[in-house]
Amino acid sequence: MMKILCIGALSIASFYHTQNFPVSAIPENLKKNASVIIRKENNTVEINKINDITYKKLSVITVLNKDAIPYSLPRIAYEKGNSISNVKVIVYDEKGNKIKSYSKSDFTDIAANPQGTFYSDNRMLILPFTASSFPYTVEFSYELNDENTVFIPDFIPFYEYNISLEESNFNIINKSGINLRSKVYESPFNYTSVAITSNGENRAYSYKNVPAIDNGQLVPAPQKVLPKVSFSLDRFNLKGKQGSIASWKDFGTWYYQNLLTPVSVSTPQIKAEIASLNLSGTTEEKVKTIYQYMQNKTRYIFVALGIGGWQPMFPDEVQKKGYGDCKGLTNYMKTLLDEAGIKSFYCIINSNSSEVSFDKDFPKMAGNHVILTVPTDKENIWLENTSQQIAFNHLSFNTTDRNVLMVKSDGIDIIQTPSSTAEDNNEKQTLYVQLNSDRSITGKGNFIYHGAQYDYNLMHLLIPEKDKTELLKKVYSTLDFENIEVKDFNNNKNSAAITFDLNFKALNYSKSIGNGYVFRAVPIYKESTHFEDSIRDLPFESKLAYKDESEIIYELPQGYFIEEIPKSINIDCEFGSYNIAFEKHENKLIVKRMIKMNKGVYPKEKFSDFINFKKRILNSDNSKILMSKKA
C-alpha cells in the first residue's frame, strides 16, 4: 500500500570520485557473516517547502558473492512527477581499480509493480549490470526531487541480514519553516548506536562499524536489533493534498476527510446487493454473510495511481469489476456493512512476519496494509479482505500481535489486534500405522490445523495436487515415502481450520535385529533445525507459539509382539514443554506425543539451554522400540 522510497545512500559524490575502494581495506570483523559491505553512504534530505523535498544519495557497497547480486543492482524507485538528476555509477574491481562507469542513459525504465499489480504510477530506473567476478564494488549517486513530503525515511544501518556497514551518514536540512520532529529508537540489545550533531534546523546522524546480522540461529529481524531514527514534518503534502500530522488526531481527521470520505459512496446497485442477502440473526452472523459474499465475488489486484497509493478505489468500481487492492476491497466491504447498518472502521497496519507496531507518541505516515474491524458487544470482529480463502474473523500471523491505526471521523484510535497463544496455533495429528516385516510401513493420517498453522497450510489451496504432494513430502521428510496421497483437503472458513487425510507407504522405517525389528517412536514430525552451540552476540527469538499433538496407533505384523518400550518423558521449561507416553497392547502400540513452544526473546546466555531442550525432544522422538517375533 505505502509507496516506499528505496534509499541506498546519499551526497557529495565528488569526494568519493577521488578514492578507490580495495576489498583489502575492509576490517575483518565486518566480513564475518556478510555478503554485502556498505563501505560509505551519505544521505542528504533537503526539505525546501511543504511540497518540495530533495534527496541526494550516494552509496559505495562491496559485493562479496552472488547472494548479494540483487542488493547491488543500482536502482531508483520513483513515480510520475519526480525529477531525477546527477545519476552516476562506477564499478571497481577487488583491488579498487575502476572497471567501468555508467550514467542515467544506461538505465532501463520499468514498472515497479509487485506481482498481481493491475496499474500503478510506481516506476524504477535500474541498471542491467552483470559482474564477471567477485568481489567488486559499486559506487552509485543520484538526486531525486519529490512533491510528497510525508514519506521521510527512517535512518537505520540496514534492513536485511548478512549486510555490514563501515560508515553511514544522514543529513537533514529543513528550510521549510515547518516543525520537523525526530525520535531516536536505541538498539534494545546495544548492538550499535547513532551519533548525532545539530546546527539549528539542520541535523546530522551517523553509524560506524556495524557488523552483519546472520540469518540463522534464531536471531531476531534486523529491525528488532538495530537502532533507528524516525522523522516527520508537522505539516505535509501528499499529491497536492496538504495536511497535519502533528498528532494522531490531526492525521486521522485529515485521512478520514481527504482519503476516505470522497470514496465512501454507495450506489443503488450496492444497496440491492445487501437487500438480496436477506440478512438475519446476530451482528456477527450478518457480518459473516456479507464477508463471505464479498470474498466469493472479488479478487486481489494491487492498484496505485496518484494518491491511489493511499486512497481506495470507489466501492462501485470494485462492485462492477470484481477486483481491488487492500484499500479498495476494505472500502467496498465497509460500504456493504454501512448499507446493512453495521458500523466498521478502516484500519492501517504493518503487515509483516515480524511484528511492527505504531508509536503512540510519535505520529508518522506508515503502514503497508489495510484491514477492517467491526466492534460488537462481545469483542471486535477482524476482517482480512484481500484473501478469497481465509476464514471469517481470522487474522494471519502477519497481522496479529501488533497495533493498528483505526481511522475515525474525529481522529485515530490505536488499538491492538488479537494475540495468538500456543493453544490457538495448534496441529492435531492422528496416524494409523501398519508395521510390515519388509521394514516398510503403510499408514493413514488425519491432520487438523488452527491459528498460524492454518495460515501456513492455506498455501496448499493455491497449488496443484501434484505440487501439494511434493510439498508435503518435503515437510514430512523424516519418512522415506514410496507413495503418498492427499485426500479430502478442506478449508473450514467458519472455524478457521484446515483438515486433510494422508495415505502413504514409506520404506526403510525399521531396522532388523536378530529375529526382530527396531523402529523409532514418532514417524512424522517437522524436521528439527540443527543449531550450533556457538558464542552469540545477540539474543535469540522463538517467533511463534504453537502446540502440536499426535496420537500414533501402530499395528504389529502377524506373529510379532512389542518386547521393549521406552519410558514416558515429560519436559517443562521456560521455552515450552514436551511429553511422550507409550501404551502397549497385544497387537498394538499407542504413542501419544505433545510439544508446546512458547514465543519470546531470550538472552544469548540461555541458548545452550534452548539447544538442549530441542535435542531432548529430537532424541525422544527417535526413541527406539523393539518388536520381536513370537516363539
Dihedral of CA atoms 399, 400, 405, 407 in degrees, nearest 10, equals 80
Q: Is 16 a domain residue?
A: no
The overall average pLDDT reported for the chain is 91
Has residue 413 got a pLDDT over 80?
yes
Radius of gyration of the chain (CA): 29
Taking only the tens place, the pLDDT of each residue in 19-45 is 679 999 999 999 999 999 999 999 999
Taking only the tens place, the pLDDT of each residue in 596-615 is 999 999 999 999 999 999 99
CATH code of residue 311: 3.10.620.30
Taking only the tens place, the pLDDT of each residue in 492-514 is 999 999 999 999 999 999 999 98
Domain boundary among 394, 416, 438: 416
> Same domain for 115 and 163?
yes
Helix (H, G, I), strand (E, B) or coil at 571: strand
Q: Cell 556495524, residue?
A: 210
Number of domains in the chain: 3
> Same domain for 436 and 411?
no
Give residue 11's pLDDT band: very low, low, confident or very high (50, 70, 90): very low
Instruction: Tell me: cis bond preceding 135? Omega within 30 of 0 counts.
Output: yes
Dihedral of CA atoms 252, 254, 260, 261 in degrees, nearest 10, equals 120
Alpha-carbon separation of residue 587 from 429, 558, 584 (angstroms):
22, 8, 8
Dihedral of CA atoms 310, 315, 321, 327 in degrees, nearest 10, equals 30
DSSP label at residue 155: B
Contact 157, 43 (CB under 8 A): no
> Same domain for 153 and 218?
yes
Q: Which three cell numbers stand for residue 350?
A: 504493518
Beta strands in 293-336 (DSSP E): 299-300, 302-304, 323-324
Give residue 8's pLDDT band: very low, low, confident or very high (50, 70, 90): very low
Per-residue pLDDT at 4: 30
d(CA 454, CA 420): 12
Beta strands in 409-559 (DSSP E): 411-416, 426-435, 441-450, 480-492, 497-507, 510-513, 516-520, 540-542, 546-555
> Same domain for 471 and 611?
yes
Domain boundary among 204, 234, 264: 234
Domain boundary among 358, 390, 416: 416
Per-residue pLDDT at 581: 97
Give residue 68's pLDDT band: very low, low, confident or very high (50, 70, 90): confident
> Same domain for 119 and 30?
yes
CATH code of residue 129: 2.60.40.3140
> Same domain for 223 and 261?
no
Taking only the tens place, the pLDDT of each residue in 449-483 is 999 999 999 988 888 877 888 888 888 888 999 99
Q: Is 10 a domain residue?
A: no
Q: What burial letters (b/e) apply to 494-515, b meaning 16+ CB within 10 Å?
A: eebbbbbebebbbeebbeeeee
Q: Which three cell numbers stand for residue 499?
A: 483438515
Distance between terminal CA atoms of the chain?
Answer: 71
Mean pLDDT value across residues 374-399? 95
Say if strands 569-573 and 624-629 run parallel, antiparallel, or are unpaired. Answer: unpaired
Query: What strands, in cross-sheet order, belong to the sheet with 369-374?
Result: 381-383, 369-374, 345-349, 403-408, 411-416
> Same domain for 206 and 253?
no
Mean pLDDT value across residues 92-114? 90
Give residue 305's pLDDT band: very low, low, confident or very high (50, 70, 90): low
> Same domain for 99 and 214?
yes
> Same domain for 470 and 605?
yes
Taking only the tens place, the pLDDT of each residue in 529-581 is 666 667 788 999 999 999 999 999 999 999 999 988 899 999 999 999 999 99
Q: How many Cβ atoms from other residues are within 10 Å of residue 428's Cβ?
A: 17
Sign of CA dihedral 60, 64, 68, 70: positive
Give residue 631's pLDDT band: very low, low, confident or very high (50, 70, 90): confident
DSSP label at residue 460: G
Residue-level length of the chain: 631
Task: Give the rounded percent of residues in the chain with a pLDDT score beyond 90.
Answer: 80
Has residue 201 got a pLDDT over 50?
yes
pTM of the model: 0.90
Q: Which three cell numbers stand for residue 121?
A: 504510477
In 386-526, where does DSSP find H-type helix?
A: 451-458, 465-475
Q: Is 187 a domain residue?
A: yes
Say if strands 108-111 and 180-185 run parallel, antiparallel, or are unpaired. Answer: unpaired
Q: Provide the domain limits for residue 582.
A: 422-531+541-629
- Crossing angle of helices 283-297 and 326-339, in 10° steps, is 140
Has residue 14 got a pLDDT over 60?
no
Q: Is 603 a domain residue?
A: yes
Q: How many Cβ atoms from other residues are within 10 Å of residue 154's Cβ?
A: 16
d(CA 549, CA 596): 9
Contact 477, 527 (CB under 8 A): yes
Per-residue pLDDT at 15: 41
Q: Is 573 a domain residue?
A: yes
d(CA 399, CA 371): 9
Mean pLDDT value across residues 324-338? 96
DSSP label at residue 20: -
> Same domain for 216 and 339?
no
Per-residue pLDDT at 117: 44
Q: Is 536 a domain residue?
A: no
> Same domain for 382 and 511?
no
Helix (H, G, I), strand (E, B) or coil at 34: coil
Per-residue pLDDT at 216: 79
Taking only the tens place, the pLDDT of each residue in 204-236 is 999 999 999 998 789 999 999 999 999 999 999
Helix (H, G, I), strand (E, B) or coil at 275: helix
Q: Is 152 a domain residue?
A: yes
Per-residue pLDDT at 548: 97
Q: Which three cell numbers stand for residue 509?
A: 522405517
Q: Which amino acid is at 188?
A: P
Cα 529 off chain centre by:
20
Per-residue pLDDT at 531: 67
> Same domain for 199 and 273?
no
Q: Is 7 a domain residue?
A: no
